[in-house]
């Protein structure tokens, strides 16, 4: 997938080219009085924004695609093609239907100013300003294309010929037969001492670009990473917490009491994929690796700390802005006044969209042999949840500072919010793995797509674009994107043999679907077995819920210090939720991901930014986008020309997508045996 900023940048030269070559002659539609021109005038900023909105709508429905991939890889079946398409479509569009209820509050109100939108306004205006080249300095567009070409040329190495440089470890090369040494040195399955990467995707794949993330957020994440990986996990492992030594140190798999991979087929009905209590009682409780256990703990803590932190640090500001927005006679936004010449979007447009998407969603979940397992009342519960979460997160995103905004985006897009929705469905409707994953996908996507649509309407307000044009561009764009995503995924499932089954794929294949292993295990934990049997009240990990209390309490001392020592500005930069989310993200985020990300961020902040501020101001944002663009283009080229046909590079050790630390995944408990591991 190409970065959205890349698309926004490429739209400009494409629009200018069409402005030059397309004929301006009017074309009449036969049998009508309607006519139009292919070239109505110079390509302008409003057209640029509308096209960008159209192109970005519906992009990234990963939750629905993950469900399709997980069902194929782990349940050895496929969801009906029409159900798959409707799942992608409804997750993309459903959330937009709720937006109409919150337009006056979140878009029209001058007190909901949406700080995340302002950089986009500046970005579009900067692109349409004429830039004069001075001396030997490159223009921004020239710099972007040069950096993209260099990134494109380099990525063929880690992306095809030498995937192993994505994670390298000196320790594992030196101590090839030591389990402890490889646990310490592995960047993927251990503590990452001496590990590094030469692949940009490893740096930004999970954590985002260090060019654009505030350094205070990076510093908070570093603190959380160190506390989690280098303090909590070693103590827990050495103390054999939750039988830690019976299982790998780092793993997203689930295990039985004997340290073997959990045979989920023994507790699920083969045809209906429903939980069998008798079979479960005769088999084993479900166990997790020590890192997964405490990752859940940090996840629970981050959920509670986020709400606690927002209430303590920003509660009065948010409440004040909210009450002002609801007060009558408080003045009309100057932008709204200027938009009076354009027709507003009728509420019934949103209502029709919402009703139709609700019906389609119920059909998708209840029809097709009830493959997705989610009943109609689950969809209605979803609507209630979205009606609560969307305005809540919307008010926060519309009023808070940049640092808290990053926290909110992390909460919505990272494990905390997913675990929260899975927990709800796990308690309400246990024993149904696909119902749990489907509910989580709809909840996450509805809130995210709805808030994205609202922010787009606010962007349209600032740029003076007709609201109906913004609405149509988002809805039509989402429909087209859904069709393209479905076609692409179905083509891959049909043409790539053994996709998402690493043990059957050729060496160096990229079709291993590592994140879908996480999705599958979440299905088993929250859906099939359920939180009652894994966590509270009857599970092995029932006392992990104490992390909710810890998370709620941890921001209090920081808030107290910030109030009593207002001159210490750095105290307010401490963000407990970001610290906790760093641990909650591991796994799938690994040590080498974080270590390389921190290294690049520190280099950029303390070397590049300090010594070359003018260069940084002009080119840093573009360089980030250019590197991502080059990587995406090369990955796309390699995929469609070679890897889709299972044509890999030269057969050598560098083709392995690993860090060559095989013993890092070995259990160290006495009497527990694993293939390829020494006995203790």
Give first-to-last CA distance, the chain, whole Å. Answer: 45
34 versus 295: the higher-pLDDT residue is 295
Quick check: 329 pLDDT over 50?
Answer: no
Per-residue pLDDT at 99: 92
Angstrom distance (rounded) from CA 490 to CA 69: 10
Per-residue pLDDT at 364: 94
Per-residue pLDDT at 134: 64
Percent of the chain with pLDDT over 70: 93
Domain boundaries, the chain: 1-43, 44-122+141-155+199-315+331-649
Residue with tokens 């629905």: 64
How would residue 227 be classed by pLDDT, with cut points 50, 70 and 90? very high
Which two tokens mark 286? 């479900």
> What's the pLDDT tens digit per position in 345-368?
999 999 999 999 999 999 999 989
For the chain, helix, strand, coil in percent to 5 are: 65, 0, 30
Average pLDDT of the chain to the nearest whole number: 85
Angstrom distance (rounded) from CA 315 to CA 302: 18
Those residues whose C-beta lies under 8 Å from the C-beta of residue 628, and which sit 6 or more positions away, are 2, 3, 5, 6, 151, 200, 204, 209
> What's the pLDDT tens digit per position in 83-127?
999 999 999 999 999 999 988 888 887 777 787 787 778 778 877
553-584: buried (b, 16+ CB within 10 Å) or exposed (e) per residue?
ebbeebbeebeeeeeeeebbbbbbbbbbbbbb
pTM for the model: 0.86
How would residue 598 be classed by pLDDT, with cut points 50, 70 and 90? very high
Quick check: 337 pLDDT over 90?
Answer: no
């Amino acid at each position: 997938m190409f970065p959205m900023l890349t698309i926004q940048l490429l739209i400009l030269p494409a629009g200018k080219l069409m402005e030059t070559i397309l004929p301006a002659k009017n074309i009449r539609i036969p049998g009508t009085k309607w006519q139009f021109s292919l070239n109505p005038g110079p390509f302008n900023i409003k057209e640029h924004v509308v096209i960008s909105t159209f192109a970005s709508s519906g992009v990234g429905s990963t939750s629905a695609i993950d469900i399709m991939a997980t069902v194929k890889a782990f349940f050895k079946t496929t969801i009906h093609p029409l159900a798959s398409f409707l799942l992608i479509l409804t997750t993309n569009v459903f959330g937009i239907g709720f937006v109409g209820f919150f337009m006056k509050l979140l878009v029209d109100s001058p007190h909901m100013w949406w700080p995340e939108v302002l950089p986009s306004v500046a970005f579009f205006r900067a692109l349409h300003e004429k830039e004069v080249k001075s001396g030997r300095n490159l223009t921004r567009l020239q710099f972007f294309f040069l950096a993209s070409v260099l990134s494109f040329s380099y990525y063929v190495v880690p992306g095809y010929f030498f995937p192993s440089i994505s994670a390298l470890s000196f320790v594992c090369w030196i101590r090839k037969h030591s389990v402890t040494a490889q646990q310490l040195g592995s960047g993927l399955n251990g503590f990452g001492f001496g590990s590094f990467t030469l692949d940009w995707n490893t740096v930004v794949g999970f954590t985002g670009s260090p060019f654009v993330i505030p350094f205070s957020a990076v510093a908070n994440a570093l603190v959380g990473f160190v506390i989690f990986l280098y303090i909590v996990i070693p103590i827990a492992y050495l103390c054999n917490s939750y039988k830690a030594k019976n299982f790998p140190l780092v793993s997203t798999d689930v295990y039985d009491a004997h340290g073997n991979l959990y045979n989920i087929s023994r507790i699920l009905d083969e045809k209906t994929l429903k939980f069998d209590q008798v079979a479960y009682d005769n088999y084993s409780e479900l166990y997790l690796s020590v890192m997964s256990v405490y990752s859940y703990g940090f996840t629970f803590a981050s959920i509670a700390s986020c709400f606690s932190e927002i209430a303590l640090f920003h509660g009065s500001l948010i409440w004040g802005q909210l009450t002002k927005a609801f007060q009558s006679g408080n003045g009309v936004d100057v932008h709204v006044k200027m938009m009076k010449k354009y027709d507003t979007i009728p509420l019934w447009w949103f209502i029709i969209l919402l009703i139709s998407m609700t019906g389609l969603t119920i059909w998708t979940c209840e029809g097709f042999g009830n493959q997705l397992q989610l009943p109609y009342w689950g969809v209605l519960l979803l609507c209630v949840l979205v009606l609560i979460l969307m305005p809540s997160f919307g008010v926060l995103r519309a009023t808070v500072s940049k640092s808290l905004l990053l926290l909110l985006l992390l909460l919505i897009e990272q494990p905390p919010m997913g675990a929260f929705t899975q927990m709800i469905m796990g308690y309400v409707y246990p024993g149904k793995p696909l119902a749990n994953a489907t509910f989580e996908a709809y909840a996450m996507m509805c809130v995210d797509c709805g808030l994205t649509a609202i922010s787009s309407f606010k962007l349209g307000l600032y740029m003076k674009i007709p609201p109906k044009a913004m609405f149509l561009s988002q809805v039509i764009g989402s429909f087209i994107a859904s069709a393209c995503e479905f076609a692409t995924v179905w083509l891959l499932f049909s043409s790539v043999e053994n996709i998402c089954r690493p043990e059957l794929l050729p060496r160096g294949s990229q079709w291993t679907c590592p994140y879908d292993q996480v999705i599958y295990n979440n299905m088993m934990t929250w859906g099939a077995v359920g939180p009652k049997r894994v966590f509270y009240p009857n599970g092995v990990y029932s006392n992990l819920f104490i992390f909710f209390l810890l998370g709620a309490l941890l921001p209090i001392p920081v808030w107290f210090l910030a109030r009593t020592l207002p001159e210490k500005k750095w105290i307010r930069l401490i963000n407990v939720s970001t610290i906790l989310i760093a641990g909650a993200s591991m796994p799938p985020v690994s040590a080498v991901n974080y270590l390389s990300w921190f290294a690049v961020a520190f280099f950029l902040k303390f070397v590049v930014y300090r010594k070359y501020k003018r260069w940084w101001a002009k080119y840093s944002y573009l360089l980030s986008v250019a590197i991502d663009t080059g990587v995406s283009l090369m990955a796309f080229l390699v995929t469609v020309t070679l890897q889709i046909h299972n044509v890999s590079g030269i057969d050598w050790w560098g083709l392995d997508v690993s860090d060559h630390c095989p013993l890092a995944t070995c259990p160290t408990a006495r009497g527990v045996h694993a293939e390829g591991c020494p006995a203790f």
